[in-house]
Chain A
Amino acid sequence: MTYTDEITPKERMLAILQGKEVDRLLVSPLILNFASRSLNLTVRDFCTNGENMGNANIACFKKYRHDVVYLFSTTSTLAEAMGTKMYFPEDDAPQVETPFIRTHEDLKKLKPVNPEKDGRLPVYLEAVRRCVDAIGNEVFIVPVIGAPFTTSAALRGTEIFIKELYTDPELVHTLMKVATQSVKNLIDAYVKAGGVPVTVEPVATGSMISERHFREFVLPYLKEVYAHIHSYNLPGVLHICGKTKRVIQCMAESGADILSIDNIDLLEAKELVGGKVCLMGNVSPADGMLKGNPEVITDMVKECVAKASDNPKGFIVATGCEVPIHTPHENMVAFLEAGRRYARLPINLN
């Protein structure tokens, strides 16, 4: 690579968190299941085995030296640990097969998770520990947790669940409370394992629900989650993909310090909430990383930097959502190289 770094991703992140001068902005593509490619694993083998998930992410980091190592397979992992049945395609992310809460009667079986035992959470914990041991001195290890609304939707079935915002708000709140406790339990376990947990709440995207429902059913629980994360002196990160213009104000009120956004213009986001939160985004995963070429991706990275590098509360160069697993290696290299070049401080896009 032409543009190399002089400090480690961890040193950079710490400097930024402490408000010190730093060489460049963070460059953090959402490498999730894509990490499986670094050891030629199928996604199924990657996400059902802690040794694989850990080792693939370690190999992936050694290859790309990206600023944050995320651990993730699906937004429904927490719901799975609480009882939702998943199906595991051979080489794609797991998807919900049968939601856990079919009837009101099933609510009796609902309880917060024990991360050391339930579902695939032990797989994640092992992956976190392995990564912390191997590369934790150089980079933060960041397991990704499905936030309460997304977890509740996967517990109940999304289509039924969002109708119940009207027809059974009591049930929604019941699920949200237990899901929130599960999120907090998992945060505790990840922190203990040396990870820095972040949260994703894609079901609460503005393409799905109104701002009114976000305020009533999502925001109070997110506030609880970020207060909990802050109790560890860690920053709150909230990722919501899709269209978020309608809900970005609420996102900024959740207590999250960093908003990872996808389908919204960065200038608009900066205008709306840039005085309150650090922004992170938003190179297109499909048109850029998967279907684009190094030239297209370089332009997209430049555009993000041009639009948001002066965001008052900071900016992180990222993809809008998960890097597709079939993203060509040269496209990933192009993203990182463009980031290292154009996000260098002071910003100079020429």
Chain B
Amino acid sequence: MEKSDILYRLTQAVIDMDATRAAEAAAAVIQHNVDPYEAIIEGLAKGMDKVNELFESEEYFVPEILLCADAMNAGIEVLRPYLPKETTWNKKKVVIGVVKGDTHDIGKNLVKIMLDNAGFEMHDLGRNVPHAKFVDTAAEVKADLVCLSTLMTTTMDGMQVIIEDLKKAGIASRVMVGGGPISPGFAKNIGADGYAKNAAEAVKVAKGLFQEIHVPLILKTPELVSVRRNQEGVR
């Protein structure tokens, strides 16, 4: 079997939400001595990129993304034993969680899936996470980005507390916020560096936060990008 065929099968299995086919294609990777790392990047992750596009264009919704991610993970599980143990990927580290008082975590899980696929190293604290846990973990893993999610109006103020506590603790992580009641205006008011209205946009915003040169991003929240630029101008 050609390498390109195998990679195509991996990509397609993810898009088709088919965990069985993803695992089979991953087994073919090993059988035909294809580089497992390349299989993940050029096969499975490429599929998730396409899924992200389908989500943005509203052809895919939450169930589809969750099942595509399951298919990708089924492929990765097969490949994992063959991956080099020590990798020196210089990934940006992200701490993510749902703020205390809220247990709705589907949105957070989608963002985690998408950022993971976009090459960020994810540290997932889960849901109903105490404010201090975000700060402690950000310090511990030297996080580049802290992502805060909530669906409830009663817990949104916790985001501001966390942002202030991060500053007090001298942690330089950027902060991105999102969730049902969160608006770009609220994000700006509490001093967040980024706001994303959904998981697809979260990838763009997160990538935008770590660009060395500030190419204007096509974001739906231009005011935040400009806020950040102004802050950096001051530095």
Contact = CB atoms under 8 A, between A and B. Distances in A.
Check if A and B associate. Answer: yes
Interface of A: 89, 92-93, 95-96, 158-159, 162-163, 165-167, 207-210, 213, 241-242, 246, 284-287, 290-291, 322, 324-326
Contacts of A210: 60-61, 64
Contacts of B155: 92
Given A89-B101, A166-B17, A246 B58 contact: yes
B61 A159 contact: no
A162 B156 contact: no
Contacts of A242: 180
A165 B101 CA distance: 29
A241 B152 CA distance: 12
B201 to A, nearest CB: 13
B154 A326 contact: yes
Contacts of A285: 153, 181
B186 to A, nearest CB: 7
Interface in B69-113: 70, 101-106, 109
Interface of B: 17, 58, 60-64, 66-67, 70, 101-106, 109, 152-156, 180-183, 185-186, 198
B67 A290 contact: no
Contacts of A284: 183
B63 A162 contact: yes
B62 A209 contact: yes
11 contacts: A162-B62, A163-B67, A165-B63, A166-B17, A207-B61, A208-B62, A246-B58, A286-B182, A286-B183, A290-B181, A291-B186
A324 B61 contact: no
Chain B facing A: main interface SS: loop
B63 A286 contact: no
B62, B67, B198: most-surrounded residue (chain A CB, <10 A): B62
A286 B67 contact: no
Contacts of B106: 158-159, 208
Contacts of A165: 63
Nearest to B66: A163
Contact of A290 (B101, B153, B198): B153
B71 to A, nearest CB: 11
A148 to B, nearest CB: 17
Contacts of B17: 166
A162 B103 contact: no
Contacts of B61: 207-210, 213
B140 to A, nearest CB: 28
Nearest to A87: B103
A213 B58 contact: no
Contacts of A241: 180
A92 B152 contact: yes
B220 to A, nearest CB: 13
Contacts of B182: 286
State the 5 A-B residue pairs at the shortest beta-carbon distance, nearest first: A286-B181, A324-B153, A162-B63, A95-B103, A210-B61
A207 to B, nearest CB: 8
Contact of B67 (A167, A291, A326): A167
Nearest to A162: B63
Given A163-B67, A286-B186, A325 B154 contact: yes
A326 B154 CA distance: 7
Contacts of B70: 163
A326 B152 CA distance: 12
Contacts of A166: 17, 63-64, 67
A165 B66 CA distance: 12
Contact of A163 (B63, B101, B103, B186): B63
Contacts of B185: 287
Given A92-B154, A95-B104, A163-B63, 15 more contacts: A162-B63, A166-B63, A167-B67, A207-B198, A208-B62, A209-B62, A209-B63, A210-B60, A246-B58, A286-B156, A286-B183, A287-B183, A290-B153, A291-B186, A326-B154
A116 B105 CA distance: 33
